[in-house]
Copies of this chain bind each other. A is one copy, B any other.
Amino acid sequence: MTSTIRVTVWNEYRHERKNPEVAKHYPEGMHSVIAAALKQAGIEARTATLDEPEHGLTQDVLDTTDVLIWWGHMAHGEVQDEVVERVYQRVLDGMGLIVLHSGHFSKIFRKLMGTTCDLKWREGNDHERIWVVAPGHPITEGLGEYFEIEREEMYGEHFDVPAPETLVFISWFSGGEVFRSGACYTRGRGKIFYFRPGHETFPTYHRPEVQRVIINAVRWAAPTPAPARVFGNVQPLEPEK
């Protein structure tokens, strides 16, 4: 059932090419590190980036993607509405979507959430401790009761998203804030997971626990061969009285 999940890891891929501090951690882009971790877990993974034609997300690519992973930050506005609409339709039709870190402000996440997805932030020296609050949920497989990231950008409440269907993680930050860091949603037939960590100036996606969560989330978000959804004008199923 979970044998051949096909993932496309989408990355804006601008910071890595412009900022040596970022390139140091991700010489070939964050997407390459994430895709490599997925492959090692036996998951089919390819990548796509903003500056490719159609952002690398042609209809054909999406039609053969079970789970799409999304990282964006400085160029959300450059993502074409047509591609956003294409991704949106695929999510409603069952494709899983994992939105990472600053992807909270992406067009696709905001469209699916129906809110601003705004939050507090601080690029500093915060220490983050990510607590599991839904032990037993598939996304927590193999984790301890919490894991830590020595240095990360802080994201704080209020996080303007609908209440998660399942809240999996809550972050503690040394600067005094908390954040709902792992949040599950369903839209149409598609499963969506938002996962907080991953500021570009830190080597966060090299961390085993972070990779583990992404791998677990891919498995959780993979499509179910589920009932087709029928809409529109229909005849009665029962005889009229």
**A136, B167: Cβ atoms closer than 8 Å:** no
Question: What's the dominant secondary structure at chain A's contact region?
Answer: loop
Q: Quick one: copies of this chain in the complex?
A: 4
Q: How far is the CB of A180 from chain B (nearest CB, A)?
A: 7
List the B side residues contacting A53 at CB < 8 Å.
none
Does A236 touch B at the CB level, under 8 Å? yes
List the B side residues contacting A231 at CB < 8 Å.
116, 118-120, 158, 160
Q: A118-B231, A125-B240 are in contact. List 15 more A-B contacts (CB 8 A).
A: A116-B188, A116-B231, A118-B229, A119-B231, A121-B234, A122-B233, A124-B240, A131-B157, A135-B188, A135-B227, A145-B227, A145-B229, A158-B227, A165-B166, A172-B176
Residues in A lying within 8 Å of B, measured CB to CB: 1-2, 92, 94, 111-116, 118-122, 124-127, 129, 131-138, 140-145, 154, 156-160, 162-163, 165-167, 170-178, 180, 185-191, 219, 223-241
Residue contacts A-B, CB under 8 angstroms, 17 given: A1-B219, A116-B188, A118-B232, A122-B234, A124-B240, A132-B227, A133-B157, A134-B163, A135-B158, A136-B226, A140-B224, A154-B236, A163-B166, A172-B178, A174-B241, A176-B236, A178-B178
